[in-house]
């Protein structure tokens, strides 16, 4: 919802960074890409995965 609020308030979002957290990393990336496509928003996504 935060992304929608930013865009709705005319704040320019130039990129989205996804980092590893408590949810499967690939699931996070897929969800963000799906949401952007669903909302017809063209913002670059930069997934950053920590290598163990």
Domain chopping of the chain, boundaries: 13-48
d(CA 46, CA 48): 6
Identify the band that residue 51 occupies on the pLDDT scale cut at 50, 70 and 90. low
**Residue 7 CB neighbours (<10 A):** 14
Which tokens go with 50?
Answer: 């920590």
Identify the band that residue 3 occupies on the pLDDT scale cut at 50, 70 and 90. confident
Write down the pLDDT at residue 1.
56
pLDDT digits (tens, 9 = 90+) for 9-41: 888 889 999 888 888 999 999 999 999 999 898
Say what the pTM is: 0.76
């Amino acid at each position: 919802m935060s992304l929608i609020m930013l865009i709705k308030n005319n704040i320019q979002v130039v990129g989205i960074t996804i980092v590893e957290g408590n949810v499967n990393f690939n699931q996070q990336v897929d969800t963000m890409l799906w949401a952007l496509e669903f909302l017809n928003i063209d913002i670059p996504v930069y997934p950053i995965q920590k290598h163990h």
